[in-house]
Structure 1
Amino acid sequence: MKNVLKYKTIGVLAVLLLTATSCEDFLHRPTEDSYTIDNFYQTEEQCFQAANVLYNSPWYDFQRGFLWIGDQLAGNIYTGTETIYQNFNLNSTNEDLVNASNSLWLVNGHCNAVIENIASKSGSGVSPEVKNTVTGEAMTFKALAYFYLARIWGAVPIIHSNTEIIGAGTATDLRRNNLEDVYEYIERTLLRAIELLPADNREGRINKYSAMGLLAKVYLTRSGLGMNGSRDQQYLDLAKQYAKTVIDEYPGTLEPVYSNLFRISTGNYNSENLISWRWTISNTWTSQNSIQSDVALNNFTGIAGDTWGSWRGVTIDLQNLFGEDALSPTRQNDDTRRKATMMMWNDHYDYFWRHVGGFTATMDNDNNVAGATFGVPTGAFMVKHIVGHYEGDHAAENGNLGQRMATDLATHILRLADVYLIYAEAILGNNESTTDTEALKYFNAVRQRAIPDADPVTSLTFETIFNERRKEFAIEGDNWYDYVRLSYYKPELARQWINQQERGSYEGDIYGYYKGEVDASEIAVNSFKVNITRDDFTLPFPDIDLSMNPNLSKEPVPFDFSTIPY
């Protein structure tokens, strides 16, 4: 794999020295730069510092793939003439796909190195509890990286130890392992992490419940693997078991105000978030969150050339799911997730450009205080991942100025709301519907957080839960994997739901219509729908990976679990 060869070139020791010295602002990391591997892991603080990098830098090049794969393929994001993802025209040379592969394998390499160095290099003064905690953090992120790899590319090689592979000189000979074995490896890794992690870690860091919540999601996904029309009950039961443990024992709660989850001050360390990438603006490139630049309206941060998202936005299909119509003079604001997810004409946000009274989505010079450009022909723009003005909003949130392509906003990977819906779906299992009180309780907790006046739902179906998940996690890089999970055991239904989505745009001057210059009769939907096959649920390996290791194109083989200790 690409990163294996990278390690062969620069050496694992150099990589781990980077983990000890980069992104020094994150979690109070000091700036010492005179350490070697042999003298670094000597204190408990240094051991924690070694894992700090796992929360940001190796994931950096996955940021675009995270959103484009997770939401464009899912039918949530429209990108105009950039049609590769929304039209399923992906090929093995796609830059974002190449970067995603490199990033995820880099995460695996960093995690393996932290695990090995904690075991072999930590000083006598480091307590077993700290060794276990840091190792458990690395194992959880390792499992997370493999969970993405498995759901994006299917069968992939299991690299348990980079140093062993480098020492044996077999980096370019690796075969893919059976997808069933990849999931088994993910589960074993998380089970070991759960044994090692404390119930309460330092603020913002992974704890036992983080790993349990992720394991519940893995079990729910695996329940359909290799099945036909129904799911394996043993994995549904395990998903339910681990989700319920998190629900009963984890002290965190749902954030009452949904939009608060996506603000630095109220969301970065919110107890609802079980796993997050924790970005920081520092002198080390890759420590920061750059997603805002891809999705925010042009001119939205007050920094010239910082954002270019005016022709990217939210699909008509996702608007329809929320009951929205961009041509309607009224907005459906009963679901607070709608406005926190998509910005539509005349929407006002008091947390954007707050230093001048907030931002209203119009072209009126008195209200369009950012001088923003409105261009996407679906009539809706993305909101999540946006901080706003570099000083008026970013500095107001945490005291630090935003910078070009750089914010401190955390990216949430697993929230407690996800665990609630996993639990409800695991209870539903293979039934057509359920009135189970526990499933309804936690489903309604998520739904009524977003729609406080909504009547409780009294019966659940798979489609009801699926659609609720799409609204809850839209533009969070996750919805595509729900379709992948469904494709494992009901591929035709997954295809049907994707193929019926409206991925087109409005034809005509929709912004002229908003300004009263164009009649509604002059606006029409330029419909576009895809026709995907079963094969489209697995993405192509990047050419660069195939050229470095031609064995990736061969049939997968079993993994020998006797070669690892768990």
Structure 2
Amino acid sequence: MKNILKYYKVVILLLLAFSFNACDEFLDRPTEDTYTIDSFYKTDEQCFQAANVLYNAPWYDFQRGFLWIGDVLAGNMYLGTDNGYQNFNLTSSNEDLTNAANSLWLVNGHCNAVIENIRTKAGPAVSEETKNTVVGEAMVWKSLAYFYLVRIWGAIPIVHSNSAIIGEGTATELKKNTVDDVYEYIVKTLEYAVTLLPEQNKPGRLNKTAAYGLLAKVYLTRSGWGQSGSRNQAHLDKAKEYAAMVVNESGLTLEPEYSNLFRISTGNNNPENLISWRWIASDQWTSQNSLQSDLALNGFTGLNDSWGTWRGPTIDLQFAFDEDARNDERNNRDARRKATLMMRGDFYPYFWRHVGGFTATWDDEDNVAGATFGIGTGANCVKHIVGHFEGDHKAEAGVPARTMATDLATHILRLADVYLIYAEAILGNNESTSDPEALMVFNAVRKRSIAAHENVSSITFEDIFKERRLELALECDNWYDFVRLHYYKPQLAKQWLNNQERGSYNNIMGYYEEEVDKADVTIESFKVNITDDLKFTLPFPEVDLAMNPNLRSDVEPVPFDFSTLEY
């Protein structure tokens, strides 16, 4: 595998990529030419610096794949009906898919290097607590990378040690390991990380609670693998156990204002956000969040670095929020809708605040940003967007944004996610549940954003599945809910995807500009027709297939030798 080999060599040769710039004080790193690998790891601070890169740079090239896989495949985002992610016609030559694979293997390589170097290079002045914490952090990030890899590609090689693979020269001969063994590897790694991580870490860094939350999600996903019609009860019980630790023992509560989670000043270090990529708008490429450029309206940032006018939430997602772009008035029943989907008439005090805020309008005089509207679904994205490079970014972060670069953290696991994992694990294989713990967390998530919500007395799987979509929409997670469902109920997963409206409106722009009547605005319907199971695993990049024929779909995966692990 060329990508695995290339990135593992990069990790070793660049000595943990010290040249990447910092993201906040706790992500400071020394310059590349200041130290050799043998002169580093001599203090607690240096050991933490070695792990800082794991919070951003190696994840950078996953950002677009993160969006397209997580939300376009899931039917939440519109890129055009000819787009391979929207119409399920992806090939091994897709650039963003290739970059996603590169990035995830790079994360694994960095994590392995940190773990190996802490264990072999840490000096006598380094405390055991620091060594444990840093290794624990690396193990959680490594587990997260494998969690994405197995849900995207299915059976994949497990590479436990960089140095072993490079020393043996076997990178192009690696065999895929079974999906079950990949999940077992993730679980073992996370459960060991839990024994190393502190209850509380420095702000923004990983701790036991984050690892418990990820374990709950992994076990819930794994519970359906290899099953038919129902899920593995033992794995559901473990998901419930770990989620309960987060819900009942962490002391964390939901952020009262949903939109605060996605602002730099109120969201980057919000305790509800358990695992986040942490970025900085710097002149060092890969240190920054670039998602705003892909999603914000053209002209929205003041830097001419955004091209999201023709990308945005689908009609189907709008319908899920009980909204319709053809209506003149918004119902605004659910606060998550406005914090996720920008629709005609929406006012945002936190965008373009230096001129009094931003209203989504097609009137040139009222459009303070001079932004271009044009998407045929009638909605644009809000999450991942900071706004004007000075008026908003500087107000939030203290410094202006740069071209294709913001400080906004990307949230991977939130407390609300774990709440819904807990509810689903309690529900298990039942048709419905009235369990008070499940109802408590489900109602809490809804009540946070729906003021008129009246507590329900029973919930079903479909209730939880839909609530996850509304809560986590455009956070690049919903596709993996379909993968999880497909593991044990493939026909239902296909049915729900095939029923989605992935098309656009005819004449919606003309209607907004008062050139056509509302009656002339019709849906140009587009629906997918998923008929085979391979649609739930994506193709390996062609460069990897060329370098390692063991990745081909006709090559059976092999068991992993767990006796090689030290935990």
TM-score, length-scaled by structure 1: 0.98
Shift in Å at residue 172 of structure 1?
0.7
For 1:362, give the aligned amino acid: T
Distance 1:250 1:47 in 2: 27
Shift in Å at residue 344 of structure 1?
0.3
1:100-126 superposed Cα distances (whole Å, 9 cap, x missing partner): 000000000000000000000011000
Shift in Å at residue 307 of structure 1?
0.2
For 1:287, give the aligned amino acid: S
Question: 1:170/1:31 Cα in 2 relative to 1: closer, same or farther (>3 Å)?
Answer: closer
In structure 1, the partner of 2:202 is 202
Could you list the runs of 5+ residues in structure 1 that have no partner in the other structure? none
- 1:551 is the counterpart of 2:544: no
Moved more, 77-86 or 357-366: 77-86
Distance 1:250 1:408 in 2: 27
Distance 2:386 2:123 in 1: 41
Could you list the runs of 5+ residues in structure 2 that have no partner in the other structure? none
1:439-486 superposed Cα distances (whole Å, 9 cap, x missing partner): 000000101001022111211000000000000000001000000000
In structure 2, the partner of 1:513 is 511
Matches within 5 A, 1:273-312: 273-304=273-304, 306-312=305-311
Classify the secondary structure of the residue corresponding to 1:413: strand
- 1:323 is the counterpart of 2:332: no
Asked if structure 2 preserves the Cα contact closer than 8 Å seen for 1:4 and 1:162, the reply is no
Asked if structure 2 preserves the Cα contact closer than 8 Å seen for 1:322 and 1:332, the reply is no
In structure 1, the partner of 2:99 is 99
Shift in Å at residue 83 of structure 1?
1.4
In structure 2, the partner of 1:374 is 373
- 1:134 is the counterpart of 2:134: yes
Classify the secondary structure of the residue corresponding to 2:87: coil
Asked if structure 1 preserves the Cα contact closer than 8 Å seen for 2:81 and 2:502, the reply is no
1:160-206 superposed Cα distances (whole Å, 9 cap, x missing partner): 00110110111111000000000000000000000000000000000
Shift in Å at residue 282 of structure 1?
2.2
In structure 1, the partner of 2:562 is 561
For 2:227, give the aligned amino acid: M
Shift in Å at residue 21 of structure 1?
3.7
Matches within 5 A, 1:327-366: 327-366=326-365
Shift in Å at residue 425 of structure 1?
0.3
Asked if structure 1 preserves the Cα contact closer than 8 Å seen for 2:81 and 2:526, the reply is no
In angstroms, what is the RMSD of aligned CA positions? 1.1
In structure 2, the partner of 1:168 is 168
1:11-61 superposed Cα distances (whole Å, 9 cap, x missing partner): x4323341x342234434154441011111100000001000000000000
Distance 1:13 1:534 in 2: 38
Asked if structure 2 preserves the Cα contact closer than 8 Å seen for 1:17 and 1:35, the reply is no
In structure 2, the partner of 1:151 is 151
In structure 1, the partner of 2:79 is 79
Matches within 5 A, 1:5-84: 5-7=5-7, 9-10=9-10, 12-18=11-17, 20-28=18-26, 29-32=28-31, 33-80=33-80, 83-84=83-84
Moved more, 32-41 or 145-154: 32-41
Asked if structure 1 preserves the Cα contact closer than 8 Å seen for 2:282 and 2:402, the reply is no
For 1:329, give the aligned amino acid: D
Asked if structure 2 preserves the Cα contact closer than 8 Å seen for 1:278 and 1:409, the reply is yes
TM-score, length-scaled by structure 2: 0.98
For 2:300, give the aligned amino acid: F
Distance 2:381 2:149 in 1: 26
In structure 2, the partner of 1:435 is 434
Distance 1:464 1:62 in 2: 30
For 2:444, give the aligned amino acid: A
Distance 1:515 1:8 in 2: 54
1:296-326 superposed Cα distances (whole Å, 9 cap, x missing partner): 000000012x000000111000000000111
Number of matched pairs: 562
Asked if structure 2 preserves the Cα contact closer than 8 Å seen for 1:15 and 1:110, the reply is no
Distance 1:494 1:534 in 2: 10
- 1:398 is the counterpart of 2:391: no
Asked if structure 2 preserves the Cα contact closer than 8 Å seen for 1:343 and 1:383, the reply is yes
Distance 2:230 2:442 in 1: 22
Distance 1:311 1:54 in 2: 33
Distance 1:215 1:8 in 2: 26
Matches within 5 A, 1:373-522: 373-508=372-507, 510-522=508-520
In structure 2, the partner of 1:213 is 213
Shift in Å at residue 249 of structure 1?
1.8
Shift in Å at residue 4 of structure 1?
2.8
1:129-177 superposed Cα distances (whole Å, 9 cap, x missing partner): 0000000000000000000000000000000001101101111110000
For 2:332, give the aligned amino acid: N
Classify the secondary structure of the residue corresponding to 2:236: helix
Query: Among 509, 521, 524, which residue is 2:522 paired with?
Result: 524
Asked if structure 2 preserves the Cα contact closer than 8 Å seen for 1:13 and 1:37, the reply is no
Shift in Å at residue 330 of structure 1?
1.5
Shift in Å at residue 2 of structure 1?
3.3
Asked if structure 1 preserves the Cα contact closer than 8 Å seen for 2:21 and 2:284, the reply is yes
For 1:561, give the aligned amino acid: F
In structure 2, the partner of 1:235 is 235
For 2:242, give the aligned amino acid: Y
Asked if structure 2 preserves the Cα contact closer than 8 Å seen for 1:473 and 1:479, the reply is yes
Shift in Å at residue 284 of structure 1?
1.6
Shift in Å at residue 334 of structure 1?
1.2
For 2:435, give the aligned amino acid: D
For 1:426, give the aligned amino acid: A
For 2:114, give the aligned amino acid: V
Distance 2:3 2:46 in 1: 25
Q: Percent identity?
A: 68
Distance 2:132 2:561 in 1: 25
Distance 1:560 1:43 in 2: 35
Question: 1:17/1:107 Cα in 2 relative to 1: closer, same or farther (>3 Å)?
Answer: closer
Asked if structure 2 preserves the Cα contact closer than 8 Å seen for 1:206 and 1:275, the reply is yes
Shift in Å at residue 534 of structure 1?
1.7
Distance 1:458 1:114 in 2: 48
Classify the secondary structure of the residue corresponding to 2:14: helix
Distance 1:428 1:15 in 2: 48
